[in-house]
Amino acid sequence: MSDLKLVGKQHRDHKSVIKVGNELVGAKELCFIAGPCAVESAEQLDEIAKGISELGVKFMRGGAYKPRTSPYAFQGLKKEGLKLLKDASDRYGVKIVTEVLDTTLIEEVYPYADILQVGSRNAKNYSFLKELGKIDKPILLKRGMSSTINEWLLAAEYILMGGNENVILCERGIRTFDTSVRNTMDIAAIPLVKELSHLPIIADPSQGTGQRSLVTPLSLASIAAGADGVMIEVHNEPEEALSDGFQSMYLNTMGDMIKVLRAQAEHSGRTLNLTKEPQTV
Ligand code: PEP
Ligand code: MN
């Protein structure tokens, strides 16, 4: 672990807090990011942005450039998707988390994103990670689906080495022998990363499980394990989604989810970073 020169903890209480505009990630309030896997249309995004912002959600995710296993699957609306994210952000005041797929797209995505997401498939793309070290916006670094914790922290080290210290780690499940779930959510990674690194860590139980019914339980487990937030996929019509519908929450269940996550956060001496108090359960 000796190569964790920049991401490693220098002392027991060493914790980084990442600023995203006037919001903080890694402080007492847990960050809650919700939104569709992919931006699909103006109507879809508007309905989701409206729905989540009414519940007090401050961060919206949505892929404009999608890394799909099949080259024939929906690849995202690209620049048009970025513009729709910006419109939704202007209309509802949500901060935008969106994926940047490669080095050539950093310049294009940069102005539209409050947090640039680096996907699991890019977690070992070292020349790309080095380029992300040169920008000044927060990076959400997903764990590679076959990365050990050390490899993942070294990926973050590449970004910090370039001068960008604003890295938020994201546990999104790993591939194991068990095919009954899409990925195996590594809950142990959360407290372990907290022991090893000062960087904040959030959880993505949507990619982490691939199954809607498991997203709330695994979000609760992640918060109990000390995560600094969760990112989940939500859709207005999951059955019609162009990607990851089977793991996307129904928009009309988000209110209940937020209430239970908030209760769990309070058990852990924290709270959820929302614009308003949710109704009590
Ligand atoms: C996503 O967040 O939609 C995504 C593609 O994530 P991952 O890179 O973790 O597979
Ligand atoms: Mn997805």
Per-residue pLDDT tens, the chain, 281 aa: give them.
579 999 999 999 999 999 999 999 999 999 999 999 999 999 999 999 999 999 999 999 999 999 999 999 999 999 999 999 999 999 999 999 999 999 999 999 999 999 999 999 999 999 999 999 999 999 999 999 999 999 999 999 999 999 999 999 999 999 999 999 999 999 999 999 999 999 999 999 999 999 999 999 999 999 999 999 999 999 999 999 999 999 999 999 999 999 999 999 999 999 999 998 776 54
Which is nearest to 141 in space by CA: 76, 81, 87, 189?
189
Question: Which of 61, 65, 68, 99 maximizes ligand 1 atoms within 8 Å of its Cβ, making it the mutation to test the pocket?
Answer: 99
Looking at the CA of 169, name the nearest ligand: 1
Which distant-in-sequence residues (6+ apart) come within 8 Å of 89 by Cβ? 49, 60, 95, 96, 114
Residue nearest ligand 1's atom 2 by CA: 37
- Ion ligand 2 — residues with CB under 5 Å? 37, 244
- Kindly list the protein residues whose Cβ atom lies closer than 6 A to any atom of ligand 1: 37, 63, 67, 119-121, 142, 172, 207
E strand or H helix that includes residue 268: none
User: Beta strand pairing status for 139-142 and 249-250?
Assistant: unpaired
d(CA 62, CA 218): 21
Full-model pTM: 0.97
CA distance 278 to 84: 27
In angstroms, what is the span from residue 38 Cα to ligand 2's centroid? 7
